[in-house]
Amino acid sequence: MSGNTFGTLFRITTWGESHGAAVGVVVDGCPAGLLLDESDIQEELDRRRPGQSNITTPRKEEDKAQILSGVFSGKTTGAPISILVRNKDVDSSKYEALRNTPRPGHADLTYEQKYGFRDWRGGGRSSARETIGRVAAGAIAKKILRINGIEVLGHVVELGGIRAKEANVEQIRSNTEKNPVRCADPEAALKMEAMIHAARSEGDSIGGIVEILCVGVPAGVGEPVFDKLNAQLAHGLMSIVAVKSVEIGIGAKCSLMKGSQMNDPIKMHDGKPGALTNNAGGILGGISNGEPIICRIAVKPTPSISKEQSTVDLAEMKDTRIKITGRHDPTIPPRIVPVAEAMVALVLVDMIMRGGFLKTSSLG
């Protein structure tokens, strides 16, 4: 199986399965001298871990990070950083009955078709638990970005068709972590939470939209043509399990606009040219323009639902029906927020390093 590594200069390789002994990541290319300890990583993993509230899976995992290499006396050495998180609350019993019946909406059938053999325990490598390695690596990337004056903020803007009011940076900073759905609009958050409970009571699930805002990215980040900044962001975000589409800036609405509406007027501001609006989402020609970078991802409903569904029995090669039991999230967007932030941070650090923008003198 290939495709487990992401990045060019700042590279990560995730490893492990949902019901295996552990999951983790190797980060290669982190500059030497960065102050780093396990608490930096744990803070982000705690935002992602299961069992945080009554709208997430009841699976209880500490998701405690252990740094195995690449850090000495509290600083990165420049060597690969290996991070391990052990799986402790594993219950594979619910999956025994599903080993020959691929779950609709999951990668069970495609893994079977590609490899002819798969780890059926909780989805194995295709499980969302793989994202632990991304979040751990993203914690390092976010720390590097903060030193360079860049902040990455994610929040849920839509859930089950309920749309939040537009939020500014301060509202996103202040409100997002104050409710279990990670929405910067408190009123919409309450409605979203009620909808989650309603869907769960029906044995169903709901999807939504997450927005990621990047503040402080300098102009000039991104490589034209195939390695455009927006292309790399789309690559990183689309690689997250359950993400079905990515928007940059105004996104799909651009198809309904005229050029006179879409174009961001350019004016002088404090002696420098800048855009008056930000329909482009901070990127033009694949290169950052100094405005906030805005991305949105559409996240599908959790495919593991307790409603009866049609599938096939691979052992007997006949149609059948299944009803999935076990511990599952009734919605994904609230827990995908730190994952999306991590992928955006990883892309930004890699592209900043490639463009020579990284300030390494102040890492310590």
Tell me: the pLDDT tens digits for 226-244? 999 999 999 999 999 999 9
* Best-predicted range by mean pLDDT (60-69, 102-111, 254-263): 254-263
- Ordered by where they begin, the domains of the chain are 5-354 (3.60.150.10)
* Model confidence at 252: pLDDT above 90: yes
Average pLDDT, the chain: 93
Residue 217 · residue 149 · CB < 8 Å:
no
Give the pLDDT confidence score for residue 95 in this predicted structure.
79
58 pLDDT tier (thresholds 50, 70, 90): low
**Helices and strands in the chain, H and E counts:** 9, 18
Extract the tokens encoding 193.
Answer: 């939470």
Helix locations, the chain, DSSP H: 38-48, 93-96, 108-115, 131-147, 169-175, 186-201, 229-238, 259-262, 333-354
Dist CA 123 CA 348 (whole Å): 30
Query: From its phi and psi, is residue 96 left (phi > 0), alpha (psi between -120 and 50) or beta?
Result: alpha
Q: SS3 of 164, please?
A: coil
51 pLDDT tier (thresholds 50, 70, 90): low
16 pLDDT tier (thresholds 50, 70, 90): very high
Give the pLDDT confidence score for residue 91 in this predicted structure.
72
* Residue in 222, 322, 338, 321 with CA at minimum distance from that of residue 280: 222
| 40 vs 57, more confident | 40
* Model confidence at 360: pLDDT above 90: no
Give the pLDDT confidence score for residue 269 in this predicted structure.
87
* Model confidence at 57: pLDDT above 70: no
Dist CA 245 CA 225 (whole Å): 21
* Model confidence at 193: pLDDT above 90: yes
Predicted TM-score (pTM) of the model is: 0.94
1 pLDDT tier (thresholds 50, 70, 90): confident
Give the pLDDT confidence score for residue 99 in this predicted structure.
86
Give the pLDDT confidence score for residue 362 in this predicted structure.
63
Extract the tokens encoding 17.
Answer: 């399965």
Give the pLDDT confidence score for residue 110 in this predicted structure.
93
291 pLDDT tier (thresholds 50, 70, 90): very high
Give the pLDDT confidence score for residue 288 in this predicted structure.
98
> Within 13 A of 360's CA, how many CA atoms are on the CB side?
11
- Provide the CA 7 distance to its chain's centre, in angstroms: 15
Give the pLDDT confidence score for residue 364 in this predicted structure.
62
Give the pLDDT confidence score for residue 344 in this predicted structure.
98
88 pLDDT tier (thresholds 50, 70, 90): confident
Lookup result for tokens 């029995």: 313
9 pLDDT tier (thresholds 50, 70, 90): very high
* Model confidence at 72: pLDDT above 80: yes
| 54 vs 262, more confident | 262
Dist CA 145 CA 207 (whole Å): 30
pLDDT tens-place string over residues 135-153? 999 999 999 999 999 999 9
334 pLDDT tier (thresholds 50, 70, 90): very high
* Model confidence at 295: pLDDT above 70: yes
